[in-house]
């Protein structure tokens, strides 16, 4: 029953999106102006219906209604409740439903609260939002219906990939989706502004909170995803330049550029056409990324392959939306004047540099992600990895970070470098000191070397905008900027330190044997079987000690076997200290030891040797701490802008009230 309600809600929501598109477009004409009134309420109801459909899907997953095909394929009655719920979006159909739900809710929210822009622009924006939603509704209803029934009803479901049975990951995709789809609002705003030719500071101010909000979710999502890959995959790496990761990085880069150009447009009325184009590009990157991942065109493990039909459908949507928006941009951009001018050395100049560098990095990541496809077209098979991405990315990232240290100190419009240069003496000295220190240590590769040196200088320089200010009166957006820039320095330090100073050790040890990794002594105490709700595991107890006289701490890495579906995963154990993390993975019993079939039964005996993989990674948690600081900075800036808006609305209504009373 719930499945049918969900499907009905989805159809209704799609119909309302059609109505919203029609009413919004007709509302722009003089004859249909009355229809414009309907657009906002329709947008709100459309969002609520999409939410209802999503709630129904969560319900059928939480009760494991196996008559629904999607549940039977992706869930299992023996699973903990939280993973049953997470299973609702851990698959293609469910995640597409989540996509339209977020899109509908965001559209409804804009319709409800955004009153600053001219009504015509708002109508065009909401019609644009409906147009985009409509395509995704069609995709869900015709090509990937999440509520399809199954007959006969199977006795048990297929289960959820055990790698995905992890609390962090359960809430990771929704976070990313909020980011991806939040950018759809920026996209719609850009379309609305292009149609009505109203590109100006008001447009930027209306768009900025949405970009910021989406960007915060993207930042958190990327950081969380990276941490998940780090501890769950058990490979000790935190970024693999995998297409799935790149798919989330590309919208982030575009949104970061958009965020900065938005603030130029909002405060200085410059970079108009560029900001509109970034608004289109940011959401396009979300769609392209999702398409690349979902169509299976890049990932080619056949257990996961999706039929090309679906890929073609999404590709058609991409062609309509991205192609259409870019044609509109091409037609209208020439009539959008460039706006205010500025000198090269100015805040705007620095932000333009930042935008160009971010776009270059975006291009590099996109090209690297697509290159295997290009090569395949010419009959070669390649995979592109860190040897391409790292140096090419750094080529543009390092100059950008240097400018980042200076840019926030510059004035708008025109400035002299000499005015700010004395502030930069200390950061420059920090960079020099770090460089000398690293040269003395020696044997640090070029990229981590640059990273460490720049990170130190940047950390100091990022705090400089607070200098000479009354800290209690400093506006929240400034605090946000400082926090986010400081976060970049922190994350950069973590990344560089991880790649410069990590120590890896792969050993086969007997019970009771002690091995040394970096400053840690690691003793394998026992290996014992343990059982969880839907898995069994071998768990090693490691007694570890930092230095010669540190406290002894336990670590419990596991090698888990799930039975539905059967799969093995390794649960790494992490021990965090202020200066880094010790990372332990339990492998199998070393192959030399007798019949492998009996390995499980005599796990406790002292005959066997166990494979352990150990890493000491100095300062690695700073990567994610930095990521969180960046997101926190975004949140501060968002809060600042929203509070200022509320204050303005409040003030305006007070003035209106007073006028009314005086008029009496």
What whole-number distance in Å separates Cα of residue 219 and Cα of residue 631?
6
342 interacts with another protein by CB under 8 A = yes
Tell me the CA distances in angstroms from 179 to 20, 136, 173, 217, 321, one per residue in order.
Answer: 23, 17, 10, 5, 18
What whole-number distance in Å separates Cα of residue 206 and Cα of residue 422?
37
Tell me the CA distances in angstroms from 342 to 62, 258, 335, 346, 645, one per residue in order.
Answer: 57, 19, 20, 7, 27
Q: How far, rounded to the nearest angstrom, does the alpha carbon of residue 632 sit from its chain's CA centroid?
A: 14
566 interacts with another protein by CB under 8 A = yes
| Shortest separation between residue 189's beta carbon and another protein, angstroms | 17
Q: In this structure, how many other beta carbons lie within 10 angstroms of the beta carbon of residue 71?
A: 30
Residue 569: φ, ψ to 5°: -130, 160
Q: Is the Cβ of residue 301 or residue 471 nearer to another protein in the bound state? A: 301
Best CA proximity match to 56, nearest among 138, 146, 144: 146
277 interacts with another protein by CB under 8 A = yes
311 interacts with another protein by CB under 8 A = yes
Instruction: Find tokens 């200390």 and name the residue.
Output: 426
| Shortest separation between residue 475's beta carbon and another protein, angstroms | 28
322 interacts with another protein by CB under 8 A = yes
**Which one of residues 146, 296, 477, 518 is an interface residue with another protein (CB under 8 A)?**
296
341 interacts with another protein by CB under 8 A = yes
Write the binding mask 581 to 620 for another protein: x where contact by CB under 8 A, - elsewhere. -------x-------xx-----------------------
Non-local CB neighbours of 660 within 8 Å, separated by 6+ positions: none
Question: Over 587-646, what HEC string results?
Answer: EEECCCCCCHHHCCCCCCCCCCEEEEEEEEEECCCHHHHHHHHHHHHHHHHHHHHHHHHH
534 interacts with another protein by CB under 8 A = no
What whole-number distance in Å separates Cα of residue 582 and Cα of residue 151?
50
308 interacts with another protein by CB under 8 A = yes
What whole-number distance in Å separates Cα of residue 348 and Cα of residue 343?
8
**Which one of residues 150, 370, 478, 642 is an interface residue with another protein (CB under 8 A)?**
370
343 interacts with another protein by CB under 8 A = yes
**Residue 315 Rama label (left phi>0; alpha psi -120 to 50; beta):** alpha
**Which one of residues 301, 440, 446, 471 is an interface residue with another protein (CB under 8 A)?**
301
Judged by CB under 8 A, the stretch of 90-98, 192-200, 329-337, 533-541 that binds another protein is: 329-337
| Shortest separation between residue 68's beta carbon and another protein, angstroms | 17
Q: Is 449 exposed, middle or buried (0-12, 13-18, 19+ CB in 10 A)?
A: middle
What whole-number distance in Å separates Cα of residue 218 and Cα of residue 178?
8
Peptide bond into 152 cis (omega under 30): yes
Q: How far, rounded to the nearest angstrom, does the alpha carbon of residue 317 sit from its chain's CA centroid?
A: 22
Q: Is the Cβ of residue 376 or residue 602 nearer to another protein in the bound state? A: 376
| Shortest separation between residue 1's beta carbon and another protein, angstroms | 28
329 interacts with another protein by CB under 8 A = yes
Q: Is the Cβ of residue 312 or residue 653 nearer to another protein in the bound state? A: 312
C-beta of residue 426 within 8 angstroms of C-beta of residue 369? no
Judged by CB under 8 A, the stretch of 182-190, 277-285, 501-509, 576-584 that binds another protein is: 277-285
32 interacts with another protein by CB under 8 A = no
| Shortest separation between residue 322's beta carbon and another protein, angstroms | 5
**Which one of residues 30, 151, 334, 443 is an interface residue with another protein (CB under 8 A)?**
334
Q: Is the Cβ of residue 178 or residue 366 nearer to another protein in the bound state? A: 366
Q: Is the Cβ of residue 32 or residue 324 nearer to another protein in the bound state? A: 324
Judged by CB under 8 A, the stretch of 217-225, 275-283, 431-439, 603-611 that binds another protein is: 275-283
323 interacts with another protein by CB under 8 A = yes
C-beta of residue 160 within 8 angstroms of C-beta of residue 220? no
**Which one of residues 1, 155, 303, 592 is an interface residue with another protein (CB under 8 A)?**
303
326 interacts with another protein by CB under 8 A = yes
Point out which residues bind another protein (CB under 8 A): 158, 273, 277, 280-281, 284, 288, 291, 295-297, 300-303, 305, 308, 311-312, 315, 318-319, 322-323, 326-327, 329-330, 333-334, 337-338, 341-344, 349, 352, 370, 373-374, 376-377, 381, 565-566, 588, 596-597
């Amino acid at each position: 029953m719930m499945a049918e309600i969900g499907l009905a809600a989805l159809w209704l929501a799609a119909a309302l999106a059609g109505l919203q598109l029609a009413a919004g477009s007709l509302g722009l004409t003089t004859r249909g102006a009355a229809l414009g009134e309907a657009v906002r309420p329709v947008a709100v109801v459309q969002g609520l219906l999409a939410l209802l459909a999503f709630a129904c899907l969560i319900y059928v997953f939480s009760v494991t209604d196996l008559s629904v095909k999607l549940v039977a394929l992706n869930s299992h009655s023996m699973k903990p409740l939280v993973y049953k719920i997470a299973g609702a979006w851990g698959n293609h159909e469910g995640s597409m439903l989540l996509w339209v739900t977020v899109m509908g809710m965001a559209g409804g929210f804009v319709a409800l609260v955004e009153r600053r822009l001219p009504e015509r622009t708002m109508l065009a924006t909401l019609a644009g939002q409906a147009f985009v939603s409509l395509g995704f509704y069609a995709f869900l209803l015709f090509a990937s219906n999440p509520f399809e029934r199954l007959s006969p009803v199977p006795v048990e479901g297929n289960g959820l990939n055990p790698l995905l049975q992890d609390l962090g990951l359960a809430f990771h995709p929704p976070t990313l989706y909020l980011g991806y789809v939040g950018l759809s609002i920026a996209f719609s705003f850009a379309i609305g502004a292009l149609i009505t030719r109203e590109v100006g500071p008001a447009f930027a101010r209306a768009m900025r909170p949405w970009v910021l909000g989406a960007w915060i979710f993207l930042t958190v999502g990327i950081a969380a995803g990276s941490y998940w890959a780090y501890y769950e995959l058990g490979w000790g790496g935190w970024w693999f330049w995998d297409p799935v990761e790149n798919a989330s990085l590309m919208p982030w880069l575009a949104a970061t550029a958009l965020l900065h150009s938005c603030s130029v447009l909002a405060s200085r009325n410059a970079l108009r056409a560029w900001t509109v184009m970034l608004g289109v590009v940011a959401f396009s990157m979300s769609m392209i990324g999702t398409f690349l991942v979902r169509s299976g065109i890049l990932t080619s493990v056949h257990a996961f392959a999706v039929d090309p039909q679906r890929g073609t459908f999404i590709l058609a949507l991409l062609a309509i939306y991205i192609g259409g928006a870019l044609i509109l941009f091409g037609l209208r951009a020439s009539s959008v004047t460039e706006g205010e001018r500025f000198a090269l050395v100015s805040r705007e100049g620095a932000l333009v540099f930042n935008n160009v560098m971010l776009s270059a990095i975006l291009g590099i990541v996109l090209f690297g992600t697509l290159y295997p496809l290009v090569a395949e077209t010419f009959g070669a098979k390649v995979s592109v990895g860190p040897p391409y991405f790292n140096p090419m990315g750094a080529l543009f990232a390092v100059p950008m970070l240097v400018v980042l240290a200076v840019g926030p100190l510059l004035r708008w419009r025109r400035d002299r470098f000499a005015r700010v240069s004395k502030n930069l003496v200390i950061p420059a000295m920090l960079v020099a000191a770090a460089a000398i220190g690293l040269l003395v240590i020696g044997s640090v590769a070029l990229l981590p070397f640059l990273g460490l040196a720049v990170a130190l200088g940047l950390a100091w320089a990022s705090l400089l905008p607070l200098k000479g200010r009354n800290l209690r009166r400093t506006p929240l957006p400034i605090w946000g900027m400082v926090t986010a820039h400081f976060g970049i320095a922190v994350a950069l330090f973590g990344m560089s330190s991880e790649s410069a100073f990590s120590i890896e050790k792969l050993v086969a040890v007997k019970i009771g044997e002690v091995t040394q990794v970096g400053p840690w002594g690691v003793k394998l105490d026992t290996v014992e079987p343990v059982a969880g709700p839907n898995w069994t595991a071998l768990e090693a107890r490691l007694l570890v000690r930092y230095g010669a006289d540190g406290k002894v701490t336990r670590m419990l890495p596991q090698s888990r076997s799930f039975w539905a579906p059967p799969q093995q995963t390794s649960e790494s154990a992490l021990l965090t200290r202020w200066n880094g993390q010790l990372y332990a993975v339990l492998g199998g019993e070393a192959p030399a030891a007798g019949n492998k079939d009996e390995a499980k039964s005599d796990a406790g005996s002292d005959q066997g040797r166990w494979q352990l993989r150990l890493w000491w990674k100095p300062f690695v948690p700073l990567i994610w701490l930095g990521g969180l600081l960046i997101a926190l900075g975004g949140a501060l800036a968002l809060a600042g802008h929203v509070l200022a808006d509320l204050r303005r609305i409040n003030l305006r209504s007070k003035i209106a009230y007073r006028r009314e009373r005086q008029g009496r």
